Structure 1
Amino acid sequence: MSGAPPAIFSPNRRAMAQLRADRMQSMSDAARFLVEDVADDLADRLSFLRHAPQRSLVIGDRAGVLAQTLPGASAAGCFDLEQPWPVESHDLIVLPFVLDTVNDLPGALIHARCALSPGGLAFVTMLGAGSLPVLREVMLAADGDRPAPRLHPQVDVRAGGQLLQRAGYANPVVDSRSLNVRYGRFESLVADLRAQGLGNVLVDRGPSLNRAALSRAREAFAALADSEGRVTETFEILTFSGWR
């Protein structure tokens, strides 16, 4: 008999990160480029698939970007996605960057499938393997000889396909694309991650950066700058889609 999945992420820290992101998204200049990119991609895919959902559910879209593009869509916050969902049947469920930090990812995908009506489509995005190479390098420089856990484990395309098959989806499709964003300051990158609910919520998060470590992080970031004084960070957007 299999046991419970390992506790990699802290539910309490995740809830606090989501509340912080909600507050930040109330500001007009908050970063929301990831969900905006997903909205454009989803519109293209639905057009190609000729799937015109009438009952859509969007979970975790704090700024309402996706809900605006889906007629009749309902929105929900990030309830406990690892338990059976308190939702009616929907013919489209969209999960933008909310499954990145669940401990039982296969279980969450199964709950999403069960919440679909027959012939319904689930559309999931996560930060995939290869994301945030600049932040990874900067954090290693900041921690020095004692690297601490700073970044979340990430799923690649192959593992994503296996997850969808394990969760029982029909016609599963997984792909990845890169989104590059340029930054002039290390703090701007961190702020963008927090505004989009992507801060560190690991159970073992490592110690907070002290003044010396933060100085090393800034120096490492500045060392990566181009001739215009900016650093390009990469977000690999992993997209899952599957049918019930």
Structure 2
Amino acid sequence: MKMPDLTDTQALTRNRARAMRAPALFLHEDLRDEIKERLAEVNKSFTSIAIVTGFPDFWREAFPTARIIPDDEVLALEPGAFDLVIHAMALHWANDPVGQLIQCRRALQPDGLLLAALLGGQTLYELRACLAEAESAVTGGISPRVLPMAEIRDLGGLLQRAGLALPVADSFARKVHYRDAFHLMQDLRAMGEGNALNDRLRRPTRRAVFAKMAELYAQAYAVDGGRVAATFDMVFLTGWAPHESQQKPLRPGSAVNRLADALNAAEIIVPATKGEG
């Protein structure tokens, strides 16, 4: 049985279209620069690139020769057609993230590279906590408001499930300071990262909830100058389509040198104990 969708894809599309009227894509700019830096460190040139994204104009400008693919449930990627696939700032909204990675893996040529950049589980933990506390205090309940994003330890496992070799998951925290919590929420709309959850509240939220949230936010997360801090957990997933040239772990017992010799230490052999019947 298919699990209920987490994301309302129509609402997500509307949010992204609205954001482009006056976009705030500094996170995409950070990711673009980081991806280009990482690619420069890879001893390989890429000639057939696909980028999966909900912001085609930005990424087309960043990689003019790349093929831009919308982050639909079924990706328009031909099997074995690319030596580099970049999944850019969209995987955290996917209803089936493993399926997205599997499709990217199938689109890679042998020894092709997948780079996925997304928001991780510590993103907006401040806003999440303050909204929950404020809504509970004002209404006596909590409704889904901030996308529940995966932790890096879970995301790394997705690469292996997708059949990618040499998987690596790493992250860094991007701290941004805002005038107040309302300024942060305005920026989220300009990023296209507003609430697009399927189970979101479908009626207007009482003003008292947001007023209480802003008060709690200012109390708990104030920084110098009277501003407040927000955290964006930037996660990078890297994996390669398997190829015979890639390094492989040694089989147990196949080592040709002893650890004791490498450490220049005496080897201590502990005799086995005989089990009692």
Match of 2:63 in 1: 70
* Partner secondary structure for residue 122 of structure 2: coil
1:203-214 superposed matches below 5 A: 203-206=198-201, 208-214=204-210
Q: What is the rounded CA distance, in whole Å, between the counterparts of 2:18 and 2:207 in structure 1?
A: 26
* Partner secondary structure for residue 176 of structure 2: strand
Conservation of the 8 A alpha-carbon contact between 2:12 and 2:196: yes
Match of 1:55 in 2: 48
Q: Compared with structure 1, are the counterparts of its residues 51 and 23 closer, same or farther at alpha carbon in structure 2 (3 Å cutoff)?
A: farther
* Partner secondary structure for residue 52 of structure 1: coil
Q: What is the rounded CA distance, in whole Å, between the counterparts of 2:4 and 2:153 in structure 1?
A: 23
Q: TM-score scaled by structure 1?
A: 0.87
Match of 1:216 in 2: 212
Q: Compared with structure 1, are the counterparts of its residues 16 and 150 closer, same or farther at alpha carbon in structure 2 (3 Å cutoff)?
A: closer
Q: Which of 163, 169, 183 matches 1:168?
A: 163
Distance apart, 1:205 and its partner CA: 1.7
1:57-206 superposed matches below 5 A: 57-60=50-53, 62=55, 64-80=57-73, 83=74, 85-88=75-78, 89-143=81-135, 144=137, 145-206=140-201
Match of 2:234 in 1: 237
Distance apart, 1:8 and its partner CA: 4.2
Q: Which of 38, 42, 45 matches 1:45?
A: 38
Q: Compared with structure 1, are the counterparts of its residues 26 and 77 closer, same or farther at alpha carbon in structure 2 (3 Å cutoff)?
A: farther
The more displaced of 231-240 and 129-138 is 129-138
Match of 2:252 in 1: none
Q: What is the rounded CA distance, in whole Å, between the counterparts of 1:137 and 1:131 in structure 2?
A: 11
What is the percent sequence identity of the aligned residues? 31
Q: What is the rounded CA distance, in whole Å, between the counterparts of 2:199 and 2:54 in structure 1?
A: 27
Q: Deviations 1:101-146 (Å, cap 9, x if unpaired)?
A: 2222211110111112222211112211211122112202321242
Match of 2:260 in 1: none
Q: What is the rounded CA distance, in whole Å, between the counterparts of 2:143 and 2:18 in structure 1?
A: 28
Q: What is the rounded CA distance, in whole Å, between the counterparts of 2:168 and 2:182 in structure 1?
A: 35
The more displaced of 198-207 and 34-43 is 198-207
Distance apart, 1:16 and its partner CA: 2.4
Q: Deviations 1:152-190 (Å, cap 9, x if unpaired)?
A: 222222211211001100111100111011100322211
Structure 2 unaligned regions, length at least 5 = 242-277
Q: What is the rounded CA distance, in whole Å, between the counterparts of 1:196 and 1:52 in structure 2?
A: 31
* Partner secondary structure for residue 49 of structure 1: coil
Q: Deviations 1:209-239 (Å, cap 9, x if unpaired)?
A: 2121122122223323334121010101111
Q: What is the rounded CA distance, in whole Å, between the counterparts of 1:191 and 1:92 in structure 2?
A: 34
